Amino acid sequence: MSIFDRISYASSDLAIDLGTANTVVYVRNRGVVIAEPSVVALQTIQGVHSVLAVGDDAKLMMGRTPENIRTVRPLRSGVISDIDVAEQMLKHFIRKAQEQRGRMRGSPEIIVCVPSGSTSVERRAIRDAASNAGARKVWLIEETMAAAIGADLPVTHPIGSMVVDIGGGTTEVGVIATGGISMSMSVRVGGDRMDDAIASYVRRTHNLLIGEATAERVKLQLGAAQLSEGPVPTTIVKGRDLVRGVPLEITISQAEIVEALAEPVGQIVAAVRSALENTPPEIAADIIDGGIIMTGGGALLANLDRLIASETGLPVKVADNPLDCVALGAGHVLEDSSYRGVLHAT
């Protein structure tokens, strides 16, 4: 009996956007119930490792732990880098989703979103992690397809659409028509690379060492692909002075952050242009009318849509609820059998 035919038993079935930065869990017939950082805090006591915290609680500990506690991000560049920790994280999120729903029958069937550029080995790691976390059956769906469905694009119709999904580890560019991906590109540039670029810039220009959490905060406050008109905002950044070795705070402007992000932003724009150059002409004609849809947390970077529009000459729109768009699309597939052709059995 398939995932689509077991409606009465499927209340525990899940769709999971297993992201480098955040994991979003969708429960059938209920919607998104969990959206938390993909972070696990591990405690070591007498050589034995145990999970201390997962998600929001674990992220608060990043950079602030004693020697016997470490925080781990089990995904890098959109794929699993530590399968054991990824399993523990998935078990936590699955259990939490089921607890919110109340008592459920059996193990869930799970749809997991994967980067279009992931290898068979990387996909097997994702499948194994989900299976070991308690899934009865695991299905995979490309992130660009899930994002397009979540953005309410006509993916099953003979109309071409372009989606740019900018996540924490990767940027996925997909051209979709008639229920399939006509062309896709995956570049390992996303929110994490932007954080690294900010930290490197601050270290290089101000001799100040800052942590991941601080770099992310600066990105959220001042991050932009290009400057807007009007006063240039600033913020205070605190870290360790590399010259004197003491704590120090400086003031940094948005103009500096735009400069810091120039390289990763340029790579995203180059990926979009490359995808357009390889798009079939009839679909390209549809994209002129429908424009480019941006999803993912990176889509919220100020003025990135304007920059892509100016570089491509096409209309660019940020999807409604871009952070949850991929999980919402996978959830629609979970609930609507007309989308069954976009899934891959493992």
What gap in Å lies between CA 223 and CA 329, rounded to an integer? 27
Q: Does 28 share its domain with 79?
A: yes
The tens digit of pLDDT for each residue in 264-308 reads 999 999 999 999 999 989 999 999 989 999 999 999 999 999 999
Give the residue carrying structure tokens 């980067």.
115
- Confidence category of residue 10, pLDDT binned at 50, 70, 90: very low
CA distance 324 to 238: 31
Residue 101 has pLDDT above 70, yes or no: no
The predicted pLDDT at position 9 comes to: 46
**169 among annotated binding-site residues:** yes
With 80 as the cut, is the pLDDT of residue 91 above it?
yes
Known binding residue 317? Answer is: no
Split into its structural domains, the chain has a count of 3
- Mind listing the pLDDT tens digit for each residue in 19-46? 999 999 999 889 999 999 999 999 998 8
Segment among 2-11, 83-92, 141-150, 245-254 with least mean pLDDT: 2-11
Query: Rounded to whole angstroms, how far apart are CA atoms 44 and 49?
Result: 5
Amino acid 20 reads T
> Is 207 annotated as a binding-site member?
no
Is the predicted pLDDT of residue 71 greater than 80, yes or no? yes
Considering the domain architecture, whether residues 169 and 312 belong to the same structural domain is answered as yes
Q: Give kind and range of the element (H or E) at residue 93.
A: helix 83-101
Same domain for 106 and 26: yes
Known binding residue 168? Answer is yes
- Report yes or no on whether pTM surpasses 0.75: yes
Instruction: Give the pLDDT band of residue 6 (cuts 50, 70, 90).
Output: very low
Do 281 and 250 fall into the same domain?
A: no
Domain range spanning residue 124? 7-38+73-145+325-345
Residue 304 maps to a domain: yes
Burial of 63 (0-12, 13-18, 19+ CB in 10 A): exposed
Residue 297 assigned to a binding site: yes
Instruction: Tell me: pLDDT of 18 over 70.
Output: yes
| Residues 196, 182 share a domain | no
Q: What percent of the chain has pLDDT over 90?
A: 62
Residue 299 assigned ligand-binding role: yes
pLDDT for position 8: 39
Do the annotations mark residue 219 as ligand-binding?
yes
Residue 80 and residue 23: Cα distance in Å, rounded? Answer: 13
User: Residues near 110 by Cβ (< 8 Å), separated by ≥ 6?
Assistant: 13, 14, 15, 16, 94, 130, 135, 137, 138, 139
- Answer whether residue 212 shows pLDDT above 60: yes
Query: Exposed, middle or buried: residue 66 (CB in 10 Å: 0-12, 13-18, 19+)?
Result: exposed
Residue 331 in any domain: the answer is: yes
pLDDT at 339: 78
Hey, which residues does 50 pair with through a beta bridge? 43
Q: Is 218 annotated as a binding residue?
A: yes
